[in-house]
Amino acid sequence: MEGGEGTEETPLPLVLTRFQLSEEYGFLLPDPLTELPEPYGPWMEIAHDLPQLIASHQLRSQVHQVPVLSFLIQDTQHLRGREELHLAHLVLSFITMGYLWQEGEEGTVKVLPQNLAVPFWEVSQALGLPPILSHTDFVLANWRRKNPNRPLEIENLDTIISLPGGESLRGFILVTLLVEKAAVPGIKVGYRRAPSLQLEGSSCPHIAVHALAHRIWKDNPAMPDGLIYEGVSDEPMAYSGGSAAQSTILHAFDELLGIRHSEESTAFLHRMRDYMPPPHRAFVEEIHRAPSLKQHVLSSGDARLCTAFNRCISALAEFRSYHITIVTKYITVAAAKAKAGQADPGDRAGPSAVKPPSALEAKGTGGSHIFSFLKSVRDTTREGMISA
């Protein structure tokens, strides 16, 4: 039900906070921390030097020298609060990626060492995230302002942690971040369509991790058996890599507009929700349970509402078409060029002897068959239009 002026403004920030959302930043982590407390200095030192350590093939040896540091809140007073946990997850996820892929597809490892695996697992448990680099790490929690008094504009933004890729990778992360920021007004509309949104206190943030406990590096031919987390499990686990399909905004818009994708695409997208922070996933599920916006528009008989609704559908379809263009240029074509030995001049770490990931030429970072998936969700979005 729509409320009056009081319910339009006053409760909005309070309710969004329950979903770890803000009116200004949306799903972005507001002004993330950039340094961990002193006991975790060794991890921060490695994380800040990742591009050079990977390019020089020294990362694995550096990781092996770090002692086991427990991140469990109940065991230490050094790491407290969601912000520090998110930074710890960001740092450990990037180090894990570098450790695994330091030597490229032909030199992957089967075991993540205990001194990295155990703290990564502990932090993941605390946040309800899987122990792998996800969209949350790559984008939502991986930004800082160069000047804290200036706005969120690309000239005033930088990443906290990076990997080999130089300015190209930095631009990829920050542009994606600004897309998340631009979606904030639409997210607030989604809230107002489902004003009953509540995050139940009984929700367990660890469910996502336990449910995924036997999958890692899923759908990647370079690691068909997954990865063993030493000190956590004797069996390999498999997860999907970070993907824009893990962005909560597109799931929220699909649910708000009543978009129904193919069975295969829906299964993949729903699996990607397991990589969102649990409060963000709860937000999407509440929109799904809310009364249908499309049915409201249809039952109103108002031609202006139908036109406005179709404009929203058209805008979302156009966004997905543009995404296809971007993926073609910056993933498929770029991967082919890299395979042919054409180094990216924007990579300040210098050309690497490591071969580029061949899986990206046909699959997305989340393991989807990239073009068939992107075209499918674009086409089914168009099918959500209301006929005249």
Single out the residue of 131, 66, 64 nearest to residue 94, CA to CA.
Answer: 131
Angle, CA 221 vertex, CA 174 and CA 164 arms, to 5°: 30
For the stretch 149-181, what's the b/e string if a residue is b when 16 or more beta carbons lie within 10 angstroms of its beta carbon?
eeebeeeebebbbbbbbbeebbebbbebbbbbb
Q: Give, in order, the Cα–Cα distances in Å from 26 to each of 12, 133, 137, 178, 264.
A: 12, 20, 15, 11, 29
For the stretch 206-234, what's the b/e string if a residue is b when 16 or more beta carbons lie within 10 angstroms of its beta carbon?
eebbeebbebbbbbbeebeebbbbebbee
CB 99 within 8 A of CB 109: yes
d(CA 360, CA 172): 16
Hey, what amino acid is at 83?
E
Single out the residue of 110, 32, 98, 27 nearest to residue 63, CA to CA.
Answer: 98
d(CA 334, CA 330): 5
Hey, what amino acid is at 256?
L
Ligand-binding site membership of 270 (annotated): no
- Going 269 to 274 to 277 to 282, the CA torsion angle's sign is positive
Label residue 53 exposed, middle or buried (CB < 10 Å: 0-12, 13-18, 19+).
Answer: buried
Binding-site residues for heme b sit at 323
Q: Which residues are annotated as a binding site?
A: 323
